[in-house]
Structure 1
Amino acid sequence: MEEKKLRDCLVAKTDGKAEPDNILIAGGIRITVIFPNLIRVECGNEKSFCDDATQSVWFRNHGKVDFTFEITKTKIIIKTEKAEFCINKKNGTAVYAKIGDMVSSCDNGENLKGTARTLDRSRGAVPLKDGVISRDGAAVFDDSKSLIMCDDGEVRPRKAKERDIYVFAYGTDYIGAVNALYKITGEVPLVPRFALGNWWSRYKAYTQSEYQNLMLEFKKRDIPLTVATVDMDWHWVDIKKQFPQSGYGKKRPAFWSDGWTGYSWNTELFPDYRGFLKFLHEQGLKVTLNLHPALGIRSFENCYNEAAKAMGLDPAEKKPVNFDITDPQFVNTYFDKAHHPYEDEGVDFWWIDWQQGTKSKLPGLDPLWALNHYHYLDRQRSGKRPLILSRYAGIGSHRYPLGFSGDTVMTWRALDFQPYFTSTASNCGYTWWSHDIGGHCFGKHDDEMYVRWVQFGTFSPIMRLHSNQDPLSGKEPWNYGWDAEMTAERYLRLRHELIPYLYSMNYRTHKFGRALCEPLYYNNPECEGAYKCRNGYMFGS
């Protein structure tokens, strides 16, 4: 039985305790001045005040900040060289913030928004969560529900409930606000160079020879690719047919089935999967496989015996190794037995396609956040730059690139929303969205829409062609009319030519906190048109 402690590589390095000289306590209120334009406000009592890092905020000590304060019966006023903050002494809410001539009510009423968990099956716009910038000069980030990060790598509930907010009072210095967010949550990692090229992805049950021939066809047509994605049919999907004695193969809620989760290559489709991976690498491609881990590791999987033993189960009893991301023993087994062997054979990174809700055995812990966090940390063991592809799980998710925006519907309205959605995510520090370029489902074959989507993808953070298995939805350029084909090919080649520039912008994001795609108002905060032109954005420097 494996040791019930997370591997060292799964323990993040954090520094949650703030500079003591920056802290003011007044009754049940504790205020930490982190920067002249950023304060933290906790409302509770001395036992509930939290010095630990949280899921979102990892670093609070950035040196001493000079400030003055005034305490009255009803409020606490903090003044720094850059801003003035007024806090309700009773409940810890922010009453106002002053930045120069700007006065903010700190209610996020004019918040310029951030991003959303997913665009799954959306035919257009979706509501966005708040970001850390606001037109009235100050934005509030509420971290009250965030769990704490422990020294052993696990997350646990806070000792007691408290209000825990951060007030970003940067006026129209939007770039400064986002950079402050990075300083307290962690920088955006460098993404590998290969991620910046063209990706092929399709939800289709390819055979090994079909996929290999498709890659050769792209090469023959001089359409460069850098990433080959294999959707969930890389593993066994028809469980009832393939493993009739297992008792699995049931339909489940929300259109998913027992076959979504799998860790054994489908040898009917991929008779020589090691040779398949070798072939893709010889073509200069990196490989990612799709994961739906919700159903754990079951008795028909190749890795089951070892996984069961590691969990203290008798393999002969064929009891499943249930998915439990709150159990360090399971987390270790999950990586050691189900993922590391395939990584050693050539899988470069994983596409974590979690769609099974936000609840786990630990109240408040979203499995999506935990999967993103642990998968990214685990991949660092290779010594290479880690990468995952997964949905957004809240403030701090920029630490785990890339973002998968979900199953996009093939409509003009969906395409129309994506430029705004992509650049606006910068407002919460999330810079690496990857969309289903061309759309995934529920649309129609449309040459012009396809070309426009490819053009947008060329000037997006990630260029990932994707569709479902519908014969009319394939995103091969030659699947469209001559004009559309030639235009799409030209833009795909342009994307590849842009890789050196994109890599420089990748470094700029990592080092200076500047997104590849930024809203126009970052550089033109006084221009009303910059706010109204939602689909316009700055691409690079």
Structure 2
Amino acid sequence: MSTHRREAEAKMLRHVERVTATAEAVWVDVQAVSATTLGAMPGWLTGEPFEDQGVETTMPNLPEDITVPPLDPEEWRLKISVHGPRTVRLVAAPRGSRVFEEKAGWLGIVTDESYESYQVHEADDIVEVSGESFSLTVTKYPFALVVKNTEGRTVARTSDRLRQVAGFPVAPPILHGQRGLSLNMELAGDESILGFGEMFGRVEKNGQHLELRTDDALGTGTGLCYKPVPVWHSSAGYGAFINTGAAVTADVGHRQPSVLGLGVEDEAIDLFLFISDDPAQRLADYTTLTGPSVVPPVWAFGYWMGRCRYHSRREMVDVSEGLTARGIPCDVLHLDPDWLVVDRLNTDFIWNEERFGSRHEFIMDLFQSGRRLSLWELPYVDPASPVYPELESRGYLVRSSADEPAALEGTPTPDGRSRGLIDFSNPDARRWWKDQHRAFLDDGVAVFKTDFGEGFPREGVVAADIPSTHLHNLYPLWYNAATSEAIAELTDRDPLVWGRSGWAGSHRYPGQWGGDAESTTAGMRATLRGGLSYALSAPGFWSHDIGGFFGPELTPGLYVRWTQFGAFSPLMRAHGLRPREPWEFGEQALHVTREWIRRRYEMLPYLWQQAHMSVREGLPMMRPLYVAFPQDPVARVVDDTFMLGQELLIVPVFDDSAEPVSRTFYVPDGEWLDMFTGEHFAGGQHHTVHLPLDAMPVLVRSGTSIPALEMPDGASNTDDVLYQPWHLRVFGGRNTVRGARPRDLVDFHGDPVDTRSLPARHVF
């Protein structure tokens, strides 16, 4: 067989040359050689001898002339460190790469940089690094990685074993090419992969090809993503996080059914693995590494109302009065860009007195009627704004490679003018941004809707010394952090934003919402899938726009069904291009939605309890069934229901008709009861129920006690129920709180609640 030389396409890690252990890490020096694909056939080859590559030279259809690249060896390093009893970090890059000089938190995602001790064992053919609950084995030649749990079961491995019929590897463990670095993991036959942020397709990602780059997605059905997060879970027993701001691709058995192919548009991969069979434990370990969320204020768990747009003070006051007159409690009214003088893709903090008069008086008017004010903002400034020249002269705007203000990308501007972007990496610009919020917060603004943020340009240059490949995806993190920090610094309360864009670490700055969903059943279904997928990657407080944001005229039936879904979501907000007030959809819709909004307020003690438990344990408040029932193979693929906290199973109804509808859903193991009807449901099977418009299944595990309150007539917001007595709704006849001790409950003022002192009500 003759061979010819051909140009290399990538570098492939092949041979471990030396191993060095220090107090913090094991350093593995690896030789990478040039590699190329086979052309029309799948597979890779190097300039090494064929027998070393595993090529089946006796195959009758193997081409006689195979072109191979020169070896051109390159020195690489693999750094292995242990960061918790179940957490191991692997950093692979060319020797001398900057990532080896930086701490884990250099990008602002990781907040806990502590190391733990480890054990290392080296033999002729392998090196093994062990922590308390795992072992990582590096095969020296050919280079490969295998991770095992404490029981010795393999939970993750690179895909070096996978080959085509002639023996050429189809997915080498680590490759470095023109588009960056790729890591290939072997997928077991029954392995499910979940996560990767707010993806609007099926929550089980097998068979999908995902692009993790923050985009103005322009909806939930475009294939784009507002909040991608390079965090995923495997049902084989591990979770993973790529510590990067660079764009990431995840091919989950799409091109090659047995391969999870991960690509990072960078020269390095910085990978954390969390080894546990329990996804809740993995999420807890991830939040230990990247920081916890915070519990929003009590009023945030009430009902929010908004519209794009309210155009005047009078219009918003009328809405507030209309809510009161119809007996609909509401805590927050949201005001979109009309509060600005220059109000198209611009935030310069210049209040529009012509439309809304005195800001303080306007906010006080709303507050007197029981409402707090939410204000829209984005991190872009229109050149038509009077503050733009000052921002430009001070260097507070993102620059281009030509050293002029860079132009927003990805979002069309209505007038053709480019928009400048605040450079949040510049400490002075960040302080300017925070200071602009001071007067608004002093006047009583409660929360800022941090809209957009996905438009950082590819050519953008910032003040911070961070490689350009990381900037686009880190920008939403910086933006939401700056506003959240402003609220925390300038008030005496925990901060709350309502953010659209995000990346790894964004869960620290609650809350987030699912972007601009279409007002259809498909849009509602995609919204839930996005929230469940995000929950597996960013544990915190996520919600959605009740009714969807745009699209066909919203039907009364779909508006009611979406309101029911929203009433049992972590946060509850109605918003859209057109009116979302309940009375806009007819008397039946008004009657039903009012009842479900009131049920929301009755559940405030449970929501408050679960919010605190979620933050304490590093879990999302809205959870896929997989988090609660990881050993159930059906539960891990269910994405049309969810757990709200640890006790409630919520079954949204995806229908746009006002007529009764049948709904089939899966109930996991155990005995369950409907919270409102007392109907029993046996676990481990599917059930079909017939539901009128006023019904949505909310199931409670038997043996559970749920704290609640009775909503008094005339109550207009959470302030009116803060001193209402709590009681227990007991399901299954046991007057206990499942798995809870008295310290697990705190009242709205932070004081512990002894559940033994609460009266029991509604015993099923």
CA RMSD of aligned residues (A): 3.2
1:504 to 584, 600, 609: 609
Superposition deviation, residue 421 in structure 1: 2.5
Instruction: Measure the CA separation in 2 of the matches of 1:76 and 1:35.
Output: 20
Does structure 1 retain, via aligned residues, the 8 Å contact 2:453–2:479?
no
Q: Which residue in the other structure is 1:112 paired with?
A: 194
Q: Which residue in the other structure is 1:244 paired with?
A: none
Structure whose CA Rg is larger: 2
Letter in 2 for 1:195: A
2:359 to 273, 279, 297: 273
Map 1:19-168 → 2, pairs under 5 A: 21-27=23-29, 28-44=77-93, 45=95, 48=98, 49=100, 50-53=102-105, 54-61=107-114, 64-70=116-122, 72=124, 75-87=126-138, 94-98=145-149, 100=151, 101-105=153-157, 107=185, 109=187, 110-116=192-198, 120-123=218-221, 131-145=231-245, 162-168=268-274
Superposition deviation, residue 163 in structure 1: 2.6
Instruction: Measure the CA separation in 1 of the matches of 2:447 and 2:231.
Output: 29
Q: Which residue in the other structure is 1:325 paired with?
A: 424
Instruction: Measure the CA separation in 1 of the matches of 2:154 and 2:274.
Output: 13
> TM-score scaled to structure 1, two decimals?
0.80
2:498 to 384, 389, 400: 389
The 1:421–1:322 alpha-carbon spacing in structure 2 relative to 1, beyond 3 Å, is closer
Q: Which residue in the other structure is 1:368 paired with?
A: 476
Map 1:203-352 → 2, pairs under 5 A: 203-237=308-342, 258=344, 260-295=346-381, 299-300=385-386, 323-336=422-435, 338-352=436-450
The 1:141–1:76 alpha-carbon spacing in structure 2 relative to 1, beyond 3 Å, is farther
In terms of fraction of residues, the more strand-rich structure is 2
Cα deviation digits, residues 451-472 of structure 1 (max 9, x gap): 110010011111000011x3xx
Superposition deviation, residue 161 in structure 1: 5.0
Instruction: Measure the CA separation in 2 of the matches of 1:108 and 1:339.
Output: 49
Does structure 2 retain, via aligned residues, the 8 Å contact 1:202–1:229?
yes
Letter in 1 for 2:482: Y
Same amino acid, percent of matched pairs: 23
SS of residue in 2 equivalent to 1:395: coil
The 1:365–1:451 alpha-carbon spacing in structure 2 relative to 1, beyond 3 Å, is same
The 1:533–1:210 alpha-carbon spacing in structure 2 relative to 1, beyond 3 Å, is same
Q: Which moved more, 1:347-356 or 1:46-55?
A: 46-55
Superposition deviation, residue 177 in structure 1: 0.6
SS of residue in 2 equivalent to 1:264: coil
The 1:43–1:492 alpha-carbon spacing in structure 2 relative to 1, beyond 3 Å, is same
Cα deviation digits, residues 197-220 of structure 1 (max 9, x gap): 100111114211111121011012
Letter in 2 for 1:335: K
Q: Which residue in the other structure is 2:512 paired with?
A: 403
Does structure 2 retain, via aligned residues, the 8 Å contact 1:108–1:134?
no
Instruction: Measure the CA separation in 1 of the matches of 2:615 and 2:396.
Output: 42
Cα deviation digits, residues 361-397 of structure 1 (max 9, x gap): 2322233221112222222112211111112422211
SS of residue in 1 equivalent to 2:374: strand
The 1:295–1:312 alpha-carbon spacing in structure 2 relative to 1, beyond 3 Å, is closer
Cα deviation digits, residues 404-444 of structure 1 (max 9, x gap): 32111111011112333323322213331121111111122
Superposition deviation, residue 81 in structure 1: 4.0
Q: How many residues align?
A: 477
Instruction: Measure the CA separation in 2 of the matches of 1:417 and 1:288.
Output: 26
The 1:365–1:280 alpha-carbon spacing in structure 2 relative to 1, beyond 3 Å, is same
> TM-score scaled to structure 2, two decimals?
0.57
Superposition deviation, residue 531 in structure 1: 2.0
Instruction: Measure the CA separation in 2 of the matches of 1:431 and 1:141.
Output: 17
Q: Which residue in the other structure is 2:163 paired with?
A: none
Letter in 2 for 1:175: A
Instruction: Measure the CA separation in 2 of the matches of 1:495 and 1:92.
Output: 55
Q: Which moved more, 1:47-56 or 1:27-36?
A: 47-56
Instruction: Measure the CA separation in 2 of the matches of 1:195 and 1:131.
Output: 27
Superposition deviation, residue 507 in structure 1: 0.7
In terms of fraction of residues, the more helix-rich structure is 1
Superposition deviation, residue 489 in structure 1: 0.8
Letter in 1 for 2:433: Y
